[in-house]
């Protein structure tokens, strides 16, 4: 384990040293990240706990024609899966939430650090699966939500970088008489690959 950490550190150090003198900006980014999602809904906390792991993949493109290329558009796929327990009988239930989010961000180019902020529109799909003793076997549906995110890219090189992001989303799902507030705060970090199409 120590050897792997040493190798990674040496790789990033090398790429930084290489990038330090390169001013070229590639338009497309492909990022993979993982993190934690804190859902606002109180029942979610009772059933699944305070948070759930979330995994994301995103393609973003720095738009050439807007604000001197400070605007980036992105499309992100997010996946969340968790197992919880019914509040009274403590039987297992499984939750899967996946969403496709469209976002626009303003990029602040500060050499290697590129902070960003911007709104987004989320199309959220959910499915909850219940134990055999439950009156229904599963519930599934979809809902539109809004989000706002802020974060920062860090370019190790012209092709490789990192990303940290905090995203606040709002969405409310309704299943019959049950309303679930599936918005919340997600914190994630990951790797970014830059390229030109």
Partner 1 sequence: MSRQGYYLSTLKKPTLILLFALSPLLLSGSMHFTNVTEKYNVGGYSYFGAHGVCWVDVNNDGKLDLYIKNEDAKGVLNVENILFINYGNIFLDEAFLRGVADAYPPGTHGAVFADLDNDKDFDLFSTTTYEGISPSYNHIYENDGIGYFQDITGNISPSQDIDTFSRGVAAADFDGDGDIDLFFSNPLPDAKPFRTQPSPPQQLKNFYMNNGDGTFTWTYRGIEWIGFVQGVSAVDIDQDGDIDIAEAKWAPPSTIYLNDGNGYFHKAGGSLGLPLTINVKDNGMSFADIDNDGDLDLAVIGAHRIAIYKNKEGIFQKYNSMSTAGSNSGFHCCFGDFDNDGDLDLYESGGYIYQNDGQGNFVYVSLNLSALMASLNTVDPRSSALGDFDRDGDLDIFIADKRGYNVLLRNDIDDSNWIQVEVLSDQTGGTGGVGAKITLYEGGHLGEPGYLKGFREITGEYGYLAQDMPAAHFGAPQSSIYDLKIEFLNGEQRTLSGIVPGQKIQTAYILPPVNLTGERKLNKALFYYENIIQLTWNANPDNKNITKYRIYRIEEWRKLDYLDEVSAENLVFYIRNTSNDTQYIFAVIAVDNNNIEGAPAYVTVE
Asked if 50 touches partner 1 (CB under 8 A), the answer is no
- Dist CA 191 CA 57 (whole Å): 10
Contact with partner 1 (CB under 8 A): which of 15, 16, 26, 41?
Answer: 41
Q: Which stretch binds partner 1 (CB under 8 A): 57-65, 66-74, 100-108, 168-176?
A: 168-176
Task: Please choose, out of 7-15, 61-69, 72-80, 129-137, the segment that lies near partner 1 by the rule CB under 8 A.
Answer: 129-137
CA distance 173 to 175: 7
121 CB-near residues (< 8 Å, 6+ apart): 101, 102, 103, 144, 145, 146, 147
Closest approach, Cβ 144 to partner 1, in A, equals 17
Is residue 175 at the binding interface for partner 1, with CB under 8 A as the rule? Answer: yes
For residue 95, state whether it binds partner 1 (rule: CB under 8 A).
yes
Name every residue whose Cβ is closer than 8 Å to that of residue 124 and which is 6 or more positions away in sequence: 97, 98, 99, 142, 143, 144, 145, 171, 173, 182
Task: Pick the closer one to partner 1 by CB: 119 or 141.
Answer: 141
Pick the closer one to partner 1 by CB: 8 or 174: 174
Minimum CB separation of residue 168 from partner 1 in Å reads: 20
Contact range with partner 1 by CB under 8 A, out of 23-31, 131-139, 163-171, 187-195: 131-139
Give least dist CB 93 to partner 1, A. Answer: 5
Count of Cβ atoms closer than 10 Å to residue 104 Cβ: 17
Query: Which residues bind to partner 1, rule: CB under 8 A?
Result: 41, 43-44, 46-48, 84, 86-89, 93, 95, 126, 128, 130, 133-136, 139, 141, 173, 175-178, 180, 182
């Amino acid at each position: 384990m120590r050897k792997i950490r040493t190798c990674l550190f040496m790789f990033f150090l090398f790429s930084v040293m290489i990038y330090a003198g390169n001013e070229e900006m590639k338009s497309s980014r492909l990022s993979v990240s993982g993190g934690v999602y804190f859902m606002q809904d109180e029942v979610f906390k009772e059933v699944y706990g305070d948070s759930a792991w979330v995994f994301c993949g995103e393609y973003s493109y720095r738009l050439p024609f807007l604000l001197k290329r400070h605007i980036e558009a992105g499309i992100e796929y997010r996946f969340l899966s968790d197992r919880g327990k019914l509040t009274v009988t403590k039987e297992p239930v499984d939750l899967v939430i996946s969403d496709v989010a469209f976002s626009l961000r303003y990029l602040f180019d500060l050499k290697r650090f590129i902070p960003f902020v911007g709104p987004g529109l989320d199309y959220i799909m959910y499915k909850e699966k219940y134990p055999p003793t439950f009156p229904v076997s599963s519930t599934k549906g979809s809902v539109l939500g809004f989000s706002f995110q802020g974060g920062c890219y860090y370019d190790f090189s012209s092709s490789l970088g990192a990303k940290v992001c905090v995203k606040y989303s709002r969405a409310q799902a309704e299943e019959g008489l049950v309303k679930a507030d599936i918005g919340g705060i997600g914190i994630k970090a990951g790797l970014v690959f830059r390229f030109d199409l």
